[in-house]
Structure 1
Amino acid sequence: MHTKPRVGKPVEEMTFETLDSAPVSIGRPKERWTMLFVYRGRHCPRCKRFLSKLNDVLSDWNSVMDVIVVSADTAEKARLDKEEFGWNFDLSFGLTEKQMRSLGLYVSDPLSDAETSNRFAEPGAFGIRPDGTLMLVDISNGPAARPDLAELLDGMKFNIENNRPVRGEA
């Protein structure tokens, strides 16, 4: 069953392995805001373009909040992408289907073995307050719909600086 994550409510606690540092977590209190970006995986060229754009503005994002990037890929696939594209963010991997569903993400089966061999999450972006509650959610059922990174960062800065309330109801 696909459930929509509820803004204003705590995000389920999740921990993600990373390539270069200690595991990272969401859903528990921390000092800073977090933006979680979920991408489809190594098989997705649109994801690589989006993440390369994120990499270009990563310092702007890191000055405001922590950034976590995760997919269902294996460590090996994540490492290949990071090396190929020279991304500076610490790439997380191993997103489980249970975690995908908890985040309300659309889950897809591969169209062929050439695409990938396992189920994977469609893209999502989640703005999480320091108390572990969800402030903003943007999910897509396919690779083509992605948030504009400059607009998203500008909006997040405004929300943080003005302590804006959650908007919208489920």
Structure 2
Amino acid sequence: MIKPRTETPDLSINLLNGTQWTLSEQQPEHFTLVVVYRGKHCPVCKKYLETIQEHLDDFKSKGVNVVAISSDSKERANASYTDWDIADVPLGYDFPIEEARSWGLYISKGIKDEPEEFIEPAIFLIRPDRTLYASSIQTMPFARPKIVDLLKSIDFVIDKDYPARGEA
């Protein structure tokens, strides 16, 4: 588990647009939001990422860079990009399971039409200096922070210069 106010591991992941996204190269005004989603097989993830798409400009206006990543293969991630309404969400693929474990993420064994193993959802709100501000790590597809609530919280944090909590 990564404690708030401590440096996160660096993260580099290939994006569907043919570029590589690297956390240490991000220069947001306030935060980077890393959204880990389960993969193409997850209808809850579809809705979550589509909600992020709806509010992408809101994140940008608050100085928050957003990326969504999964352990899906390039082909499965491309199918998500094509089938879901997420045209502007930077989408990363092939997030290694072992690297996900170093972030404290939960891994599930696939059932039915799921991949053999995949990463359960999480969000990480990371300051420009790569220290963790907040995280929400799930063991299931549901119980994620609502995007509108997250945006309101970011407003509060910025306005009040509210410190990261949970570091003790």
TM score, norm. by length of structure 2: 0.91
| Alignment correspondent of 1:127 | 125
Contact kept in structure 2, 1:107 and 1:122, CA below 8 Å: yes
Contact kept in structure 2, 1:78 and 1:92, CA below 8 Å: yes
User: Aligned pair 1:69/2:68, yes or no?
Assistant: yes
Instruction: Report the CA distance between 1:160 and its aligned residue.
Output: 2.8
| Alignment correspondent of 1:31 | 27
User: Which of residues 49, 52, 55 in structure 1 aligns to 2:53?
Assistant: 55
Aligned counterparts of 1:72 and 1:59: Cα–Cα separation in 2: 26
| Alignment correspondent of 1:10 | 7
RMSD: 1.5
| Alignment correspondent of 2:92 | 92
Q: 1:76 to 1:29 in 2, by over 3 A?
A: closer
Instruction: Report the CA distance between 1:137 and its aligned residue.
Output: 0.6
User: Aligned pair 1:19/2:16, yes or no?
Assistant: yes
Contact kept in structure 2, 1:29 and 1:132, CA below 8 Å: no
Q: Deviations over 1:38-82 (max 9, x none)?
A: 000001111101111111111111222100100000111111111
Aligned counterparts of 2:85 and 2:47: Cα–Cα separation in 1: 12
Aligned counterparts of 2:43 and 2:85: Cα–Cα separation in 1: 15
User: Aligned pair 1:81/2:77, yes or no?
Assistant: no
Q: 1:159 to 1:94 in 2, by over 3 A?
A: same
Aligned length: 164
Instruction: Report the CA distance between 1:29 and its aligned residue.
Output: 6.2
User: Which of residues 150, 153, 163 in structure 1 aligns to 2:151?
Assistant: 153
Contact kept in structure 1, 2:44 and 2:142, CA below 8 Å: yes
Contact kept in structure 2, 1:29 and 1:131, CA below 8 Å: no
Aligned counterparts of 2:165 and 2:65: Cα–Cα separation in 1: 22
SS of residue in 1 equivalent to 2:77:
helix
User: Which of residues 133, 136, 140 in structure 1 aligns to 2:134?
Assistant: 136
SS of residue in 2 equivalent to 1:99:
helix
| Alignment correspondent of 1:111 | 111
Contact kept in structure 1, 2:13 and 2:93, CA below 8 Å: yes
Instruction: Report the CA distance between 1:162 and its aligned residue.
Output: 3.2
Identity %: 32
Instruction: Report the CA distance between 1:22 and its aligned residue.
Output: 1.9
Give the AA of the match of 1:92. Answer: G
